[in-house]
C-alpha cells in the first residue's frame, strides 16, 4: 500500500482535486439557489399582480339595489299610455318623495345620482313588454344604485369610522322654512371629544404631509433656472404654505372651536329619523344641518337617547361623493331598502358611458366572432403550409428563404400587422372598419407563423419509421402523410393552434389601427357589425376618467385572464392526452 506521506506531491495533487470538486459542487449549489431565487421573484411578481387586479376588480361582480315604490297612478301612467310614458320623470318623482327635505336645485340633482339610468330603462322596457303593470297603480322595483352611491357602498369613496356613544343627545331644531334645517346640539361631551380627536388626527397628518411637500418644492425651486418653471413652482409653493398655515391655525384652536367645512373630515349623526351633518363644534356644543328628516315636520327641542356618529375620514373636497349623498344612502341602509346581489348585468350588457351600467357582453361577443374568423382562416392555411414545407417541398434556396421569412414573421411586432390590415383590408378593399371580419383577418395573419412553426415541429416529432412502414406496405407519399403522419401530429398542431389563438385573444395594438377602439353601445349582430373585443374594451375603460371604471377594468382583466388560462390548460390537456412518445 502506497504511503502518501512518502509522496508529498501526490498528496498536494489530491488536495487540489478535492478543492476543485468542492468548488464545482459549490457552483452547482449556487446555480440552483440563483434559479430558486429567480423563480421566487417571478412568483412574487405574479402574486402581486393577481392580488392587485383581484383586489381592484372583485367588487365589480356585485352591485347594490334599492327598493323603490313607483306610484304609476299618481304619475298618470295607464295601460293605454304605458309604452309612451316619461319613465325618467316617474322615477325621479318617486325618489324626491322619499327625501322631501331636498328642496334646492343641487340637492334634487344629487337625488338623481342615487339610482342608475338602467332603472329607467328597465322599467320602460317592462311597461312596453307588459302594459298591464300600469293597472296595478303602484309597483315596487329593485333599482340599481348610481355610480356615486356605489362608490360609497363599496368602500371606494372614503374611510368610514363608526363612533360608539351612549349619552343622550339634546337637539334644538330651527323652525325655518328651509328644507335642510339648522340644528343646535348641547350637553354632548362624548360627541365633542370624538369630533375633537378625529379632527386633531387629520390636521396633524395634514401638517406633516404639507411640510414635506413644502420642503420638496422649496428644493426644486432652488435648482430651477427657467423663469416660467420657477413661477409655476412658486405658485404651487404658495398654495401649500397657505394650506399649511390654515391647518396649523385650526390645530391651535381645536380645543376652543372646530369649523367642519369641506376641507375637514365629515361627522354625521344618525338620530332616529334625523340625519345630521355637523358644521361646527365648540366647548358650548355643536351645530349642524338636518339633511334627511323623513316625513315629520321638524321644529322645537327634543332629546334622543339612541343615536350614532359616523366619521368620513376623507374631506368632502377630496372625494367624488358628497356628504348629502352619503347620508341619504345611509338612511336607505338603515331602513333596509338597500341590498347586494351578483352583478349579472356585467355579463349581459355592452359598453356604456355610465360605469354602473357598462358590461362586457358586447366585447365578449366581438371577441368570439373575431376568434372564429381567425381560426377558420389561420388553421387550414397553416397546417397546409406546414405539411407542404415539411413533407413535400424540395430542399433548395426558395424553401430556405420561405422558412427564414416564416420564422422572422413570428417575431414581427403585432402593430405591423395592424398597419398591413389598415393599408390592405380597409384602404384598398374598403372593408368595414371596427368589424370582427377585418379583426379576424388581421389576427389570422399574425397567428399564421406561430401555428406553422408548431405544426412543423409536430410533424418532425413523428418517427421516420411511420412513413417508411406506410410506404413499405404500398401507400403513396400522400397517403402516408395524410393517413398516418398527420393524425399522429394533429395533437401537437392543435396545441400550437390553441396557444396562437390565446395570443391573438389578448392582442390590442393591431385592432386599434383598424378602428376597433370605437365606443360601441350595442352587441354586434354579425361578422360585419361594429364591435369591440375584450382587450380593447379594457384599454378604453382604463383611459376613462370616471372612478367607477377602475373596478370594471380590473374585472374585465380577470375575465380575460380566465379565458387565457383555460385555453392554455386545454392545450396542456390535449398534449398530455394524445401525445405519443416514441
Q: What is the 3-state secondary structure (H, E, C) of 362-376?
A: HHHHHHHHHHHHHHH
Q: Report the pLDDT value the prediction gives residue 23, as an integer from 0 to 100.
A: 83
338 lies in some domain:
no
State which of 153, 186, 206 marks the end of a domain. Answer: 153
State which of 319, 336, 370 marks the end of a domain. Answer: 319
State which of 95, 126, 153 marks the end of a domain. Answer: 153
Q: How far is CA 230 from CA 213, 215, 226, 537, in A?
A: 16, 15, 6, 41
User: Given phi > 0 = left and psi -120 to 50 = alpha, else beta, which region is 253?
Assistant: alpha
Q: Is residue 145 classed as helix, strand or coil in its secondary structure?
A: strand
- Determine whether 565 is exposed, middle or buried from the number of CB atoms within 10 Å of its CB (0-12, 13-18, 19+): exposed
Residues 229 and 290 in one domain: yes
Under 8 Å between Cβ of 180 and 276: no
Contacts of 559 (CB under 8 A, 6+ apart): 360, 364, 534
Q: Report the pLDDT value the prediction gives residue 451, as an integer from 0 to 100.
A: 94
Residues 144 and 234 in one domain: no
Largest distance between two CA atoms of the chain? 120
263 lies in some domain:
yes
Under 8 Å between Cβ of 190 and 321: no
Backbone angles phi, psi at 183, to 5 degrees: -145, 145
d(CA 292, CA 486): 75
DSSP string, 178-227: -SS-EEEEES-HHHHHHHHHHHHHHHHHHHHHHHHHHHHHHHHHHH---H
Under 8 Å between Cβ of 564 and 484: no
Contacts of 520 (CB under 8 A, 6+ apart): 350, 351, 362, 366, 434, 530, 531, 532
Residues 177 and 300 in one domain: yes
Local confidence pLDDT in tens for the 582 residues of the chain: 455 555 566 667 777 778 888 888 888 889 999 999 999 999 999 999 999 999 989 999 999 999 988 888 887 888 788 777 788 888 888 888 888 777 778 888 888 888 888 888 888 888 888 888 878 888 888 889 988 899 899 988 888 988 877 777 777 877 655 556 777 777 556 778 888 888 999 999 999 999 999 899 888 888 887 888 888 888 998 999 999 999 999 888 888 888 898 999 999 988 767 788 888 888 778 888 887 765 554 556 777 777 888 899 999 998 888 888 898 898 888 888 899 999 998 999 888 888 888 999 999 999 999 999 999 999 999 999 999 999 998 888 888 899 899 989 888 899 999 999 999 999 999 889 889 999 999 999 999 999 999 999 999 989 988 888 888 888 888 899 888 899 889 888 988 899 899 989 988 889 988 888 888 888 899 999 999 999 999 999 998 888 889 999 999 999 999 998 998 888 888 777 776 666
CA torsion, ordered 442, 448, 451, 452, to nearest 10 deg: 180
Alpha helices in 66-116 (DSSP H): 87-98, 105-112
326 lies in some domain:
no
Among residues 403, 520, 529, the alpha carbon closest in space to that of 456 is found at: 403
Under 8 Å between Cβ of 127 and 77: yes
Domain span at residue 179 reads 160-319
Contacts of 464 (CB under 8 A, 6+ apart): none
Residues 99 and 116 in one domain: yes
Residue 286 bridge partners (DSSP)? 185, 281
Residues 46 and 87 in one domain: no
pTM for this predicted structure: 0.83
Residues 202 and 282 in one domain: yes
d(CA 418, CA 510): 4
What nine digits make up the cell of 194? 370624538
Residues 470 and 498 in one domain: yes
Residue 268 bridge partners (DSSP)? 277, 310
330 lies in some domain:
no
465 lies in some domain:
yes
Among residues 477, 410, 411, 488, the alpha carbon closest in space to that of 449 is found at: 410
Q: Tell me how many domains the chain contains.
A: 4
Rg for the chain, CA atoms, rounded:
35
351 lies in some domain:
no
Among residues 491, 317, 318, 459, the alpha carbon closest in space to that of 392 is found at: 459
Residues 208 and 94 in one domain: no
Under 8 Å between Cβ of 327 and 293: no
374 lies in some domain:
yes
Q: How far is CA 473 from CA 172, 272, 462, 480, in A?
A: 106, 94, 18, 10
Q: How far is CA 117 from CA 88, 134, 521, in A?
A: 8, 20, 14
Q: Report the pLDDT value the prediction gives residue 297, as an integer from 0 to 100.
A: 47
Residues 224 and 294 in one domain: yes
CA torsion, ordered 415, 417, 423, 427, to nearest 10 deg: -100
Residues 266 and 293 in one domain: yes
d(CA 423, CA 398): 27
d(CA 241, CA 446): 56
What nine digits make up the cell of 225? 433656472
Q: How far is CA 20 from CA 12, 25, 34, in A?
A: 12, 9, 21
Residues 117 and 177 in one domain: no
Residues 47 and 79 in one domain: no
Q: Report the pLDDT value the prediction gives residue 188, as an integer from 0 to 100.
A: 59
343 lies in some domain:
no
Q: Which CATH number characterizes residue 395's domain?
A: 1.10.3720.10
Residue 251 bridge partners (DSSP)? none
Amino acid at each position: 500500500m502506497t504511503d502518501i506521506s512518502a509522496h508529498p506531491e501526490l498528496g498536494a495533487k489530491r488536495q487540489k482535486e478535492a478543492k476543485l470538486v468542492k468548488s464545482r459542487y459549490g457552483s452547482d449549489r449556487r446555480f440552483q439557489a440563483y434559479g430558486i431565487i429567480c423563480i421566487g421573484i417571478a412568483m412574487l411578481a405574479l402574486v402581486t399582480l393577481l392580488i392587485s387586479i383581484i383586489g381592484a376588480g372583485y367588487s365589480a361582480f356585485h352591485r347594490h339595489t334599492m327598493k323603490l315604490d313607483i306610484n304609476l297612478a299618481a304619475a298618470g301612467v295607464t295601460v293605454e299610455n304605458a309604452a309612451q310614458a316619461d319613465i325618467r320623470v316617474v322615477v325621479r318623482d318617486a325618489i324626491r318623495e322619499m327625501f322631501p327635505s331636498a328642496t334646492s336645485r343641487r340637492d334634487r340633482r344629487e337625488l338623481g345620482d342615487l339610482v342608475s339610468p338602467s332603472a329607467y330603462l328597465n322599467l320602460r322596457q317592462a311597461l312596453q313588454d307588459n302594459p298591464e303593470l300600469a293597472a296595478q297603480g303602484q309597483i315596487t322595483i329593485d333599482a340599481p344604485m348610481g355610480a356615486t352611491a356605489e362608490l360609497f357602498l363599496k368602500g371606494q369613496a372614503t374611510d368610514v369610522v363608526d363612533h360608539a356613544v351612549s349619552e343622550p343627545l339634546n337637539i334644538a331644531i330651527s323652525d325655518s322654512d328651509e328644507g335642510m334645517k339648522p340644528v343646535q346640539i348641547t350637553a354632548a361631551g362624548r360627541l365633542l371629544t370624538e369630533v375633537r380627536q378625529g379632527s386633531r388626527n387629520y390636521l396633524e397628518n395634514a401638517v406633516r404631509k404639507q411640510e414635506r411637500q413644502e420642503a420638496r418644492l422649496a428644493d426644486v425651486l432652488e435648482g430651477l433656472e427657467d423663469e416660467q418653471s420657477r413661477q409655476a413652482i412658486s405658485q404651487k409653493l404658495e398654495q401649500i404654505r397657505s394650506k399649511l398655515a390654515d391647518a396649523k391655525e385650526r390645530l391651535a384652536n381645536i380645543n376652543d372651536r372646530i369649523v367642519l367645512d369641506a376641507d375637514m373630515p365629515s361627522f354625521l349623526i344618525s338620530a332616529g329619523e334625523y340625519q345630521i351633518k355637523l358644521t361646527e363644534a365648540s366647548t358650548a356644543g355643536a351645530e349642524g344641518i338636518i339633511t334627511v328628516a323623513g316625513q315629520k315636520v321638524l321644529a322645537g327641542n327634543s332629546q334622543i337617547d339612541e343615536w350614532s356618529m359616523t366619521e368620513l375620514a376623507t374631506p368632502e373636497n377630496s372625494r367624488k361623493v358628497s356628504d348629502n349623498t352619503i347620508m341619504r344612502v345611509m338612511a336607505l341602509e338603515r331602513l333596509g331598502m338597500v341590498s347586494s346581489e351578483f352583478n349579472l348585468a356585467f355579463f349581459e350588457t355592452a359598453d356604456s358611458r355610465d360605469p354602473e351600467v357598462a358590461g362586457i357582453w358586447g366585447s365578449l361577443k366581438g371577441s368570439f366572432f373575431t376568434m372564429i374568423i381567425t381560426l377558420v382562416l389561420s388553421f387550414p392555411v397553416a397546417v397546409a403550409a406546414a405539411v407542404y414545407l415539411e413533407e413535400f417541398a424540395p430542399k433548395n434556396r426558395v424553401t430556405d428563404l420561405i422558412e427564414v421569412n416564416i420564422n422572422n414573421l413570428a417575431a414581427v411586432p403585432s402593430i405591423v400587422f395592424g398597419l398591413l390590415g389598415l393599408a390592405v383590408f380597409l384602404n384598398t378593399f374598403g372593408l368595414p372598419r371596427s368589424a370582427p371580419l377585418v379583426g379576424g383577418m388581421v389576427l389570422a395573419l399574425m397567428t399564421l407563423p406561430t401555428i406553422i412553426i408548431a405544426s412543423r415541429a409536430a410533424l418532425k416529432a413523428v418517427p421516420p419509421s411511420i412513413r417508411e412502414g406506410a410506404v413499405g406496405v404500398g401507400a403513396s407519399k400522400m397517403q402516408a402523410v395524410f393517413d398516418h403522419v398527420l393524425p399522429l401530429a394533429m395533437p401537437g398542431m392543435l396545441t400550437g393552434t390553441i396557444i396562437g389563438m390565446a395570443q391573438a385573444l389578448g392582442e390590442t395594438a393591431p385592432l386599434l389601427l383598424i378602428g376597433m377602439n370605437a365606443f360601441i353601445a350595442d352587441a354586434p349582430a354579425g361578422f360585419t357589425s361594429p364591435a369591440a373585443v375584450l382587450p380593447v374594451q379594457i384599454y378604453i375603460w382604463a383611459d376613462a376618467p370616471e372612478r367607477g371604471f377602475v373596478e370594471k377594468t380590473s374585472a374585465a382583466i380577470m375575465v380575460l385572464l380566465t379565458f387565457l388560462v383555460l385555453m392554455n390548460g386545454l392545450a396542456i390537456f390535449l398534449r398530455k392526452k394524445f401525445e405519443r412518445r416514441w
